[in-house]
Amino acid sequence: MSIYLLPLFVVAAPVAWLALAVTHRSPWFKPRLDALLATGLGLLVASLLLSTAVLWPR
């Protein structure tokens, strides 16, 4: 597995599930918004880690 795909698989899914679990208990968010927030947060963290892996000096 490439080092560039590693952050996507290792971090994005747990962060998305954690955000979904946290927002699922809040009464003011709808389930579709929960899924959208979890997906967005997971993609944000994965993209930050991916850019760090690419730009890290070797």
DSSP string, 11-57: IIHHHHHHHHHHHHT-TTS-HHHHHHHHHHHHHHHHHHHHHHHHHS-
pLDDT in tens, 20-52: 666 666 656 666 776 777 777 777 877 887 788
pLDDT in tens, 3-19: 666 666 666 777 777 77
pTM value?
A: 0.49
Amino acid at 24: H
How high is the pLDDT of residue 28? 62
How high is the pLDDT of residue 15? 72
